[in-house]
Amino acid sequence: MSGIARLELDGKVYELDTFVGTEGERSIDISKLRDTTGYITLDDGYGNTGSCRSAITYIDGDAGILRYRGIPIEELAGRSSFVETAWLVIFGKLPTVEDRDRFASLLGESAMIDEVMRKHFNAFPQTAPPMAILSAMINTLSAHDAGATQIDDDESMERAAAVLISKVRTIAAASYKASIGEPLVYPRYDLKYAENFLHMMFSVPYRNYEPSPEVAAALNLFLMLHADHEQNCSTSTVRMVGSSKANLFASCAAGVCALWGPLHGGANVAAVQMLQDIQESGIPVSEFVNKVKNRDAGVKLMGFGHRVYKNFDPRSRILKKSVDDVLNQLEKSDPLLDIARELEDAALNDDYFVERKLYPNVDFYSGILLRAIGIPMEMFTVMFAIGRMPGWIANWKEINENPKSRIYRPRQIYVGPTDVEWEPREER
Ligand code: ACO
């Protein structure tokens, strides 16, 4: 049920429409505010701004709920593969067997990157951060597969989605191979999505890597849990760039750049680094928690806290359990998992974290799962990018298909100097 909001400004009352989403989320429609009142809203960091109406992902941060296209993440985990989830996120419903097979074939056919494109990898220094290579190479796809950027119906959309989801995996593995001085490994048509990625990451010319079903399942789960997360920093970036009618590949390359930062996708690296530092320094967990609370040199509990979740991030719960299962199945142990568990317990029972509603987010355990799979730390954020690709594509699609979509162009309140007179150089 929507109503009217009344706003009193300078002695005058204005009526603003309200809009309620399908899950009861309430909003005040301010799209005519400046025209009618001369005011704009001020919302640093966009914490109270709904930038769009979207039918892709629903999060209730207070209740710890995450749903893709209405389906709870807990139901998808363990039942759907990453590929099936990707199709669901992009096209709005679970694929039929026919949809699933067609999309899987498209993914298989699109796995190779252009031979000319391979040469780009040799031009990067061996020390290049894989996220730099990933964003550059996704952008480069616009040049090598220009046909895929022409999207005007469901068929071309599906093809472009398959090209991007498939090739991002090949590019990611190739960037890893370049960084360790090994030759790029060609994809195999007979392998499924996760297995094919692991093959390209870990096979060498003289030995094929055969992942165990447990490792492939863990990777599928990791990717699936990252498939979308509504209007986070990178997805908003993709929408922002897409709103200018930039092509899908260019928009998603921008998403990779936004994801790179340690407060976003880079947090999975920062969380494992933090656990390693605790392990190497041997400081008790309680002492580290005190450092965080005292804000010593800006020390944060990485993998904790979230702009939207003020409760458990449901993905962190699934990951915590999965890390245990995978380590047991592989008969491995990881001392960082013990430290992480101890840290979580300490934080969840400490007033500092309780009062601020700081809970483990997806990054707290995801790095430990990636370590169990054998993924090196430099690749963690790249793995997040591979997983998030369906969400970026779905959000770009939503913008592209909306005939009322306008270019994203926020306003600002200028607080700089006013009317400064230009001084000749010799008088400055
Ligand atoms: N450790 C210690 N204190 C924290 C943490 C943390 N991880 N996160 C938030 N706080 C504190 C803040 O200092 C602030 O305290 P104050 O009110 O006394 O000033 C309070 O909790 C509220 O935090 P904000 O910074 O306002 O929260 P915001 O929504 O802006 O930031 C963010 C969210 C960036 C995720 C933050 O919690 C953080 O930096 N976490 C660590 C990095 C991380 O794990 N990022 C991954 C996020 S999930 C993702 O992108 C996939």
Which value, to the nearest 10 degrees, does the dihedral of the CA atoms of residues 188, 166, 234, 341 take?
-30
Measured in Å, residue 179 CA sits from the centre of ligand 1 at: 32
pLDDT tens for each residue of 239-255 = 999 999 999 999 999 99
Instruction: Calculate mean pLDDT across residues 281-290.
Output: 94
Look at the alpha carbons of 211, 216, 218, 223 in this order and tell me if their dihedral is positive or negative: positive
Measured in Å, residue 354 CA sits from the centre of ligand 1 at: 13
Q: Is the CB of 367 under 6 A from ligand 1?
A: no
CB of 59 closer than 8 Å to CB of 49:
no
pLDDT band at 1 (very low <50, low <70, confident <90, very high): low
> What's the pLDDT score for residue 300?
93
Measured in Å, residue 305 CA sits from the centre of ligand 1 at: 5
- Give the mutation target among 307, 309, 364 for probing the ligand 1 site: most ligand atoms within 8 A of CB: 307
Strands (E), 38-155: 57-60, 65-68, 71-72
> What's the pLDDT score for residue 126?
86
Q: Is the CB of 363 under 6 A from ligand 1?
A: yes
- Structure token pair of residue 162: 């398959």
Q: Is the CB of 319 under 6 A from ligand 1?
A: no
Q: Which residues are catalytic?
A: 306, 363
The protein residue whose alpha carbon is closest to atom 44 in ligand 1 is: 303
pLDDT tens for each residue of 13-42 = 999 999 999 999 999 999 999 999 999 999
Q: Is the CB of 300 under 6 A from ligand 1?
A: yes
- Mean predicted lDDT score pLDDT of the chain: 94
> Which atom of ligand 1 is least distant from the CA of 364?
44
Position 394 pLDDT exceeds 90: yes
> What's the pLDDT score for residue 266?
86
The protein residue whose alpha carbon is closest to atom 35 in ligand 1 is: 306
Q: Is the CB of 166 under 6 A from ligand 1?
A: no
Task: Round to whole Å and give the CA distance between 276 and 259.
Answer: 22
CB of 326 closer than 8 Å to CB of 212:
no
The protein residue whose alpha carbon is closest to atom 17 in ligand 1 is: 356
pLDDT > 90 fraction of the chain, expressed in percent and rounded: 84
pLDDT band at 2 (very low <50, low <70, confident <90, very high): low
Task: Round to whole Å and give the CA distance between 105 and 157.
Answer: 15
Position 379 pLDDT exceeds 70: yes
Q: Is the CB of 231 under 6 A from ligand 1?
A: no
Position 313 pLDDT exceeds 80: yes
Measured in Å, residue 86 CA sits from the centre of ligand 1 at: 29
pLDDT band at 353 (very low <50, low <70, confident <90, very high): very high
The protein residue whose alpha carbon is closest to atom 32 in ligand 1 is: 306
Q: Give the helix/strand (H/E) hosting 19.
A: strand 12-20
Measured in Å, residue 44 CA sits from the centre of ligand 1 at: 15
